[in-house]
Chains A and B, each alone.
Chain A
């Protein structure tokens, strides 16, 4: 699904000491499955995810998604791609404070009406949120609950690729594994990219990409 060729991302281009967030590497990702990207802070994990999801344009290199080079797409085409094919779980949940959990999930749904609401409710239930929590605003939810709402929102439009940046960071181990089970289930038919520091949650990953200092240090089939 993704074919990355010589991807390079340089910050502070105008400065003498350039910062290489991505140092120029090749990588191939499958059409479906759970792909874990691990590495220490500053290794370039998030930058890679943002480049793959078209939020950032790399300084050099190619990202081919389903046969299409996405780094050269116009802004509107990139927006369409993010809207229609990708789902996001960011490090911070970015929930809309004035909407309840259910509305936060349906907020950017492709359709509308009862079907959308039912799907959102099913997703929230599968992530362990009850009827009560669905009516609560983010301010009244715990950190873990907020993150689960953000995951439900990411899965709302059934994206072909789901990008998850530290999706279990705010969850206890039990909840973290429950979330990973859901992502794993979702990865059976779609591609799920999970960035994390926590090796333990990637035991079931189909592909594990390790990053170090802006480069891919290893790519392993199977989990940790």
Chain B
């Protein structure tokens, strides 16, 4: 014997109203998740440069003071000579350190990666032909198109950098000394080439490591070099991760504003729409209670209706989001050579929490409506 009130009766007969609720709930999921997805094109792309690559490759440039050189005393020529010697010594000592595979003096060439929101500027190392080969092998980059650089000024860049900067094979950079001769297949933003002479002496040192070196500054200090963080130019996991956190924080703030703003708007909208819907159903519930269905049965039917709205909204929202993500990736993110994150557990958690908040919030008008239910005898008395 059926003792439940059907939840589908209302939905079947009030498709437009049900659709408003479902669309609102689904839109919340779509907007929040798509926002994170678009923002992830920045965080995920920069993560490759700042967090992943810096575990394999570090660059360091120490000030004169770290080598005990005083340019005011020695003069320009002697300072340069002393510095070159000191750098050579540094490289020699670094090669003896645990985790270090290769150490090479390099020049740095700057490149900017533009995300859909935000940008990041970094330098990749260019050295001699031997270093280029070692570096490519170390970073897991292979030649995809064109040829490997073998002359000064020739560069090989990964697909990601090429797409992001809108460069083509054979193109010369704004600094005309450099020309792209090869495209590399790489998971990251790989770039390198053969350094150009007569550009001053290179005192940047590139360390190719086994992934165990996270803090080059600490390692150098342990080796006896004294310098302040402001004087030295160090590119390693430690500094990269700090910068990544800064980038993440910059992205997180607008993301949070979007997440919370959408949730508040949705909650208010749903609250108003739902309260109106409930008001229209007062007579119906009074009837049910009069003919033997208690408030609990009415509440359970409302709850089933609501769970139906949420379930359909989640399915519809997920499908729309998936389609949206694939489309945005195909037409915007991939053509820009950017990376993105399809599954963000933290944002999924936020959405679940958002739904939970709305679900709890909607219990208020339901409770209020349930309290107002009276049986027909009480309603008839009001007529007199």
Interface assignment of B65: CB less than 8 Å from any CB of chain A: no
State whether A79 and B1 are in contact (beta carbons under 8 Å apart), knowing that A94-B286, A108-B288 are contacts in the complex: no
Q: Taking A50-B377, A56-B377, A107-B9 as contacts, is the C-beta distance between A96 and B2 under 8 angstroms?
A: no
Q: A90 at the A/B interface (Cβ < 8 Å)?
A: yes
Most buried by B among A56, A98, A99: A98
Across-interface contacts of B294 in A (CB, < 8 A) = 75-76, 79
A82 contact set on B, CB distance < 8 A = 290-292
Residues of B within 8 A of A80 (CB): 292
Q: Is A158 close to B, CB under 8 A?
A: no
| Cα A105 to Cα B292 with chains together (Å) | 15
Given the interface pairs A83-B3, A94-B376, the reply to whether A108 lies near B10 with Cβ below 8 Å is no
CA distance A112 to B2 in the complex (A): 8
In the complex, A112→B290 CA distance in Å? Answer: 21
Number of chain B residues whose Cβ lies closer than 8 Å to a Cβ of chain A: 25
Q: Which residues of B contact A79 (CB under 8 A)?
A: 289, 292-294
Does A186 sit within 8 A of B, measured CB to CB?
Answer: no
Interface size on A, residues (CB 8 A): 31
> A88's contact among B5, B13, B291, by CB below 8 Å, is which?
B291
SS of A interface (majority): loop
Enumerate chain B residues within 8 angstroms of A90, measured Cβ to Cβ: 290, 376, 380
B14 near A98 with CB under 8 A, answer yes
Bitwise interface map of A from 34 to 70 toward B, beta carbon under 8 Å scored 1, else 0: 0000000000001000100001100000000000000
- Chain A residue nearest to B284 (CB atoms) is A96
Q: Say yes or no for B283: interface residue by CB 8 A criterion.
A: yes
**Proximity bits, B1-33, A CB within 8 Å = 1, else 0:** 111011001100110000000000000000000
B residues near A107, Cβ cutoff 8 Å:
6, 9
User: What residues on B are CB-neighbors of A96 within 8 Å?
Assistant: 9, 283-284, 287
Whether B9 lies near A103 (C-beta < 8 A) is yes
Report, nearest first, the 8 A-B pairs whose CB atoms are least far apart. Answer: A83-B292, A82-B292, A50-B377, A98-B13, A94-B287, A55-B377, A79-B294, A96-B284
- Known contacts A92-B380, A94-B290, A108-B293; can you find 7 more A-B pairs with CB under 8 A? A76-B294, A79-B293, A83-B3, A90-B290, A92-B376, A103-B9, A110-B2
Pick 15 A–B contacts, CB within 8 A, sort by A.
Answer: A46-B380, A75-B294, A76-B294, A80-B292, A81-B292, A88-B291, A92-B380, A94-B283, A94-B286, A97-B284, A98-B10, A99-B9, A100-B13, A110-B1, A111-B1
